[in-house]
Chains A and B, each alone.
Chain A
Amino acid sequence: MTTTLPPRPAPGAARDEADAARPATTASPATRVLGAAALVATALLVLYGLVISPADREMADSVRLMYIHVPAATYLYVGCFFTTVASAMWLRRRTPGWDALAEAGAEIALVFSIITLGTGSLWGRPTWGTYWTWDARLTSTAVLTAMLVGYLALRRLELDPAARSTRAAVLGLLLVPNVIVVNRSVEWWRSLHQGSTLVKLDPSIEGTMLVALMVGFVAFGLIFAWLMVHRFRIAWLDQKADGLDLEAALAARRAESRAPTAPETEVTP
């Protein structure tokens, strides 16, 4: 029996209205500020790195590649650190945010590792005469890149999400320990043949060169943060979208079974 009272607004209607107004993007006021800051810092880096700072006494202008190479290598390790810690936390707490963080850290670490290898290689060409030297840092970074590719490959597998996340988490947990062991072994091995490492960070480094390097760290840090936030949100939305797909499929199955004239179809999962 129906009444003629006007319908009462559903609970949380005000919140739903606010939700509907949210734009369909992973951006937010915070990331816009972050992005703007990153652009400013990058502009400063270009200024200091390419214009203001002088060429090195030994390396000449190729030292300018170091203002990218060193920060990139640093944030590569930071990304790996995020993946390992997030993997550990996921194994303990099983909340999806940690899983998303692990995925984000690894993918961004991969981007930075490619930059590290690329700039290191381009630096090596004029300095050592070859694009690749088996020095400790490049070699370790190459191995690390392979590990990251493997980790991301594991993440893309067709598995039920819980199993996939568990396996990825175990692999991610081992990432930093593996990196440490590989780096130590490679350094020890290469020290038998080479005395120097790729970058001799001279403590008496010329003032503006040091400033350029610092600006590099800041710029890359902001870029890293911006990328991380967006990639994290993407991973987060991905999980939600998967969940929605699953719900939709289940709802369709239920609807099928309830319909009186539903044909006997055997849907194999």
Chain B
Amino acid sequence: MTHAGYVAAGWIGAGVLIGGYAVTLVRRGRRLARQVPPGERRWS
């Protein structure tokens, strides 16, 4: 595969960025949900 480095960098970079952001969201969500009484989280 030509330009393999660029392609790899792009795909891995995008994956890391989105994955990392997703992890941040989940952790922040759990932290916030603990602070708030259960009545407010009417989605689960």
Contacts and interface: CB of A to CB of B under 8 A. Distances in A.
Interface of A: 15-16, 19-30, 46, 49-50, 55, 60-62, 64-65, 68-69, 72, 111, 114-115, 118-119, 122-123, 125-126, 223, 226-227, 230-231, 233-234, 237-238, 240-241, 244
Q: Which of A24, A30, A125, A244 has the most CB of B within 10 A?
A: A24
B4 A61 contact: yes
Main secondary structure of the interface of A (DSSP, over half): helix
Contacts of A26: 25-26, 29-30, 32-33, 41, 43
A225 to B, nearest CB: 12
A241 B21 contact: no
Given A19-B37, A27-B29, A244-B36, A223 B18 contact: yes
Interface of B: 1-4, 6-7, 9-11, 13-14, 17-18, 21-22, 25-26, 28-30, 32-44
Contacts of B4: 61
Contact of B11 (A50, A114, A125): A50
- Sorted nearest first, the 10 A-B pairs with minimum C-beta distance are A26-B29, A237-B32, A19-B38, A24-B33, A28-B43, A24-B34, A22-B38, A60-B2, A122-B10, A230-B25
Contacts of B3: 60-62, 126
